[in-house]
Amino acid sequence: MYLDIWQFLGGLVHWLLVDIIGAFVGWLGFHGLEGWLGSPGVLNFVTILLVALIVFVVGMLISITLIWQERKTLGRLMDRRGTQVGPIGLFQNFADGLKVLVKEHIVPEAADSLVYNAAPVIIIGTSLAMFVTLPYSPGFYVSNSELGVLLTLALFGIVPFAVLLGGWASNNKYTLIGGMRAAAQIIAYEVPLLLSVVGVIILTGSLNFFEIVQWQQENIWLIAPMIIGAIVFTISMVAELERAPFDLPEAEAELVEGWGTEYGGMRFGLIMMSEYARGFVGSSIITLLFLGGWDMPDFLNFIPVGLWFLLKMFMVFGIIIWIRGALPRFRTDQLLHLGWRRLLPLAAINIAIAIVFKTMGWF
């Protein structure tokens, strides 16, 4: 069963405002209010608010699930059980969330309060906005943009700017250094990240996630011909997410907590949750671009396509967790060397391979 979320919620809002509330206020004699509730502007505004609320709730739940997955996976990699509060450790995240919720939030006295408070809003807002740009099955989506890939990667590019703002506005040398490190790191890996997608665009001829997945359904999953691009994209995405071994902007040993040192309370909790929300988006992009999205072998067609997509996404995020547990943190020179002198040439080679495949008509 396929579901256009926007159309479904639009119908739900129309039913609530017009058929239920509108009929009630009309019965009371407020006919002007009845007409106002049924106007397109009000219906669209309420629908957008409802979509935003659902995206926020779903984003937080997915983030909690990914935190649980990381804790359990790292525990097994380190020969321990991981979190154990509640059934299979599921309640630990809720306990931590409650603890963070009651913590006091203190703004540094010399901080630029406007920018200091705006940075987390930008980070959280853009992280959750990317949920809207992704399709999860042929009919389970909010937006179907012809430039969906470009829009999603553009939203990814806003977060480092907010990180730099937060590090600078906190008026702390550790946060400033963390913000500068984040800027240098993101610039070094943003270029190979974008170039690794060019090969996908050349073969499929589209920036639309649906058309890219459809091309893979009709031909082959792009991880086969674009294996170099898939590797470059995955490594660059890990760096974009500032996860180990690319977590230098938040290095606890020398920067306390990096650019987020001065953030506490629920602001810190939401920033951490947004990192896992971006982890979900990054894993989903890899799934859509290189692993066929919701495409599956015929013998597995009894599995719902949305569930199959999520299984792939969790597998990709599991690999990212495995990388964190296996590799130590890079030094700054090693990190920049890998981005500029290794991944960038590989991304260019991947483009050349895509051009050859397209010219020869092999795909």
Report the share of the chain in percent with pLDDT over 90.
35
Q: Are 276 and 243 in contact (CB under 8 A)?
A: no
Predicted pLDDT of residue 93: 86
Predicted pLDDT of residue 30: 67
Give the mean model confidence (pLDDT) for residues 203-229. 95
Q: Which element (helix H / strand E) includes 108?
A: none
Burial (CB count <10 Å: 0-12, 13-18, 19+), residue 328: exposed
Number of Cβ within 10 Å of residue 286's Cβ equals: 22
Which of 126-130, 143-147, 348-352 is the most confident on average? Answer: 348-352
Output the CA torsion sign for 225, 211, 146, 144: negative
Helix (H, G, I), strand (E, B) or coil at 246: coil
84 Cβ partners below 8 Å, 6+ apart? 92
Q: What is the 3-state secondary structure of 150-190?
A: HHHHHHHHHHHHHHHHHHHHCCCHHHHHHHHHHHHHHHHHH
- Could you tell me the pLDDT band of residue 227, with boundaries at 50, 70 and 90? very high
How far, in Å, CA of 282 to CA of 262, rounded? 27
What is the pLDDT of the chain when averaged over all its residues?
86
Give the mean model confidence (pLDDT) for residues 171-193. 87
How far, in Å, CA of 229 to CA of 245, rounded? 20
More confident: 298 or 282: 282
Give me the helix-helix angle, 40-77 and 305-326, nearest 10°.
Answer: 50
Give the mean model confidence (pLDDT) for residues 109-117. 88
Number of Cβ within 10 Å of residue 345's Cβ equals: 12
Is the pLDDT at 2 greater than 60? The verdict is no
For the stretch 21-39, pLDDT in tens is: 777 767 666 666 767 777 8
| Least confident piece of the model among 46-50, 120-124, 226-230, 327-331 | 46-50
Full-model pTM: 0.89
CA-atom Rg of the chain in angstroms? 22
Which tokens hold the place of 125?
Answer: 């807002």
Predicted pLDDT of residue 34: 66
Give me the helix-helix angle, 209-218 and 173-204, nearest 10°.
Answer: 50
For the stretch 64-109, pLDDT in tens is: 899 999 999 999 888 888 888 888 888 888 888 888 888 888 888 8
Could you tell me how far CA 4 lies from the centroid of its own chain?
21
Q: Are 245 and 324 in contact (CB under 8 A)?
A: yes
Predicted pLDDT of residue 177: 86
How far, in Å, CA of 236 to CA of 196, rounded? 9
Predicted pLDDT of residue 175: 87
Burial (CB count <10 Å: 0-12, 13-18, 19+), residue 219: middle
Give the mean model confidence (pLDDT) for residues 317-328. 92
Predicted pLDDT of residue 203: 95
- Please calculate the CA angle 17-22-26 and round it to the nearest 5 degrees: 175
